[in-house]
Amino acid sequence: MELKKTITGITFSAFDLLHAGHVKMLEEAKLYCDYLIVGLQTDPTLDRPEKNKPTQSVVERYIQLKACKFVDEIVPYATEQDLQDILQAFPIDVRIIGEEYKDKNFTGRDYCESTGIKLVFNKRDHRFSSSGLRKEVYECESSKLIE
């Protein structure tokens, strides 16, 4: 009898203000693997100052991800170098990343392509986003101040 190989996938994000878009992304990512590892970036601004600093603590974000049924393992990381190290340290079969990166160079792309880690570009076919959520909260709270 032949044993089926477990396909291990990985995706990375800060997962700040966990919302429906994150959950849909994780649900889609899980379609490509049996075991999904989520790289949880502690603070993207450490080496990419143009990114948003997380509103929630890494502990809050970890607890929320842990409750998501699509997530099998969470690996916190700080920098893009840490992301690269994770890709090299774990037995990864597939990396899931947003389709907006399809034609861009991104951390770990060369490594994945040279070692046979399959790249899957997941789609965003919804309106949910962290920036949209931040804007909604801001507008809602601002309107309270005006009244």
Answer whether residue 12 shows pLDDT above 90.
Answer: yes
Q: Look at phi and psi of residue 108 and say left if phi exceeds 0, alpha if psi is from -120 to 50, else beta.
A: left
State pLDDT tens for residues 57-87. Answer: 999 999 999 999 999 999 999 999 999 999 9
**Integer angstrom CA distances of residue 42 from 28, 94, 123, 124:** 23, 22, 24, 23
Residue 129 has pLDDT above 60, yes or no: no
What's the CA gap between 30 and 5, in Å, rounded? Answer: 16
Q: Give 43-57 pLDDT, tens digit per residue.
A: 998 988 888 899 999
What integer pLDDT is reported at residue 4 of this predicted model? 81
Which domains are assigned to the chain?
A: 8-144 (3.40.50.620)
Checking phi first, is residue 145 left (phi over 0); if not, alpha (psi -120 to 50) or beta? alpha
Q: For tokens 């995706």, name the residue.
A: 11
Q: Are strands 94-98 and 35-41 parallel, antiparallel or unpaired?
A: unpaired
